Amino acid sequence: MTTNRYFGTDGIRGTYGTEPMTPGFVYRLGLATGRVLAAERTTTPICVIGRDTRVSGPALQRALATGLRESGVRVMDLGIMPTPGIAYLTRFIGAAAGAVISASHNPASENGIKILNAEGMKITTDQEQAIESNLELITSSDRAFDDECLGEIAPTMFEVYLQDILESVPGLTLEGLKIVLDCSNGAAYKAAPEIFRRLGADLVALNIENNGININVHSGSENLRSKPEKLAEIVRKERADLAIAFDGDADRVILMDEKGNLVDGDHMLALFADELHRSGKLLADTLVTTTMANGALKKYAEEKGFTLLQTPVGDKYVTEALLKLAENNTSDGMLGLGGEQSGHIILLDENHRTGDGIRTALVLLDILRQTPGLTLSQFANRIEKYNQVVASCNVASKPDLRSLPQFQERLDRIPGELPGLVQLNSRYSGTESKYRLMLEADSRHTSQEVARIAWDVCDLIQKLTNTPLGEKIEVLNVAQGGLLPRPSTD
């Protein structure tokens, strides 16, 4: 199978100013993408483009739009817009493609390009390879790009997206609920507060700046997962009913209950699946998640009577599995459900094919409000998760893990060290120069015991990949939130 040179599991990403995240490269990417789109259509194709708040976004959009237009594509500028909004509007407008300029939860110094098909979903591997083949035929070109290169402004589309979100939860009112909202200084900075205020919430809106350099800085869903203490303090101080945090492009969401406990993607998937199963609306009576999901989900599915289907890591694979289920289940009113513990939840129906953090949060609140007096902590406590840690460490290279016998031998020892081991997942990140290890164990082991092994494995992979000493290692306590420190050697 051919390996992509530029496209990873979530588009193309990198540090701005370094190829492939330079205007010159992105201009050529626009040319190559436009040629592929033009070859697939007999009429002029339309491509919509939106971005998050990063300072590098406009420069990359000018370059991408110029390349697309020069290859015969009509370009519409959606401005700053959540990724799921761009996906929805791609389908709503009838565009041939959509483009998202965002690096999601990554730092502001980085950026990325994600290409969507006419259905608002990530393009296929074959399409990625067709674009890369065209890229190889385009020589470098120095160009100047001005604001006129952004494309046709589409000012009414933001309201179209807001209305679609509101119509997803007909009759929902949030009056009487005090909500702390963390918008990560990202793509949701305007959309999320507007929606929650229209629904009547008593809102404490945080991180709603748009200065281009503070996206994800000490904010957002990933920060909440690793450092929950600050938001928990705000929830207590404000006497809020809950908190909601989005990532930089707003396709993920993590919640915090009134007691300061995290409600992550695994919680939401379990609660949604149970509700949809009981009401007969769960597509194929199946919940789709990945191999990184907490093992308690399997037990929960067995107890509640619905099926659990697991895919490789990546929302792309979850969506593909949901679409296959939809092909064989044509009943009206069914909702496909899948996602990841990171809070990327896909509620698949005819008009929505990707995760939307705002929509996910509202659907959960809609279920919660149907039982008067039910708190989020009481709701989330319906499932008790196993101890799970996810370690992430920078690596200087990515040799095939199977080619490292010393590393494989270390992994083989883990079941003997953790008799209560439930599952293990070892892989490289598909978007960053990082190695990730998920370890999960039952109540025979503490999270600290599991973390000790994760630290040891990360130290070893950094050594075997010639990664400089001191490079970043983080071990996340997935079940309770927070980073677990390196164990002492005493």
Domains of the chain: 12-156 (3.40.120.10), 160-169+176-262 (3.40.120.10), 265-380 (3.40.120.10), 387-477 (3.30.70.1130)
3-state secondary structure of 48: strand
**What is the C-alpha to C-alpha distance for residues 128 and 459, in angstroms, rounded to an integer?**
34
**What pLDDT is attached to residue 465?**
97
148 pLDDT above the threshold of 80: no
- Residues 112-132: what's their mean pLDDT? 94
Pick from 41-45, 117-121, 248-252: least confident: 41-45
b/e burial code for range 48-67 (CB count within 10 A of at least 16 → b)? bbbbbbbebbbbbbbbbbbb
Q: How confident is the model over 279-321, as pLDDT tens digits?
A: 999 999 999 999 989 999 999 999 999 999 999 988 889 999 9
Say if residues 194 and 168 touch (Cβ distance below 8 Å): no
Task: Please name the residue ranges forming H helices in 330-375.
Answer: 357-369
Q: How confident is the model over 174-205, as pLDDT tens digits?
A: 999 999 999 999 999 999 999 999 999 999 99
Report the side by side order of strands in the sheet with 12-15: 12-15, 110-116, 97-101, 46-51, 74-80, 152-153
**What pLDDT is attached to residue 395?**
98
1 pLDDT above the threshold of 80: no
Q: How confident is the model over 383-436, as pLDDT tens digits?
A: 989 999 999 999 999 999 999 999 999 999 999 999 999 999 999 988 789 999
Say if residues 36 and 45 touch (Cβ distance below 8 Å): no
Q: How confident is the model over 77-90, as pLDDT tens digits?
A: 999 999 999 999 99
Output the pTM of the full model.
Answer: 0.91
3-state secondary structure of 337: strand
Report the side by side order of strands in the sheet with 282-290: 307-311, 282-290, 335-339, 345-348
CA–CA distances in Å: residue 117 to residues 86, 273, 353, 484: 11, 28, 11, 40
Residues classed as catalytic: 104
Question: Among residues 167, 262, 278, which one has the least CA distance to residue 222?
Answer: 262
440 pLDDT above the threshold of 90: yes
Residue for token digits 């589409």?
154
- Residues 223-234: what's their mean pLDDT? 96
**What is the C-alpha to C-alpha distance for residues 83 and 50, in angstroms, rounded to an integer?**
8
Q: Are strands 152-153 and 242-246 parallel, antiparallel or unpaired?
A: unpaired
- Residues 104-133: what's their mean pLDDT? 94
**What is the C-alpha to C-alpha distance for residues 22 and 227, in angstroms, rounded to an integer?**
32
141 pLDDT above the threshold of 80: no
With cut-offs at 50, 70 and 90, classify the pLDDT of residue 144. confident
Percent of the chain residues topping a pLDDT of 90: 87
76 pLDDT above the threshold of 50: yes
Q: Are strands 335-339 and 282-290 parallel, antiparallel or unpaired?
A: parallel
Strand ranges in 174-281 using DSSP code E only, listed in sequence order: 178-182, 202-206, 242-246, 253-257, 262-263
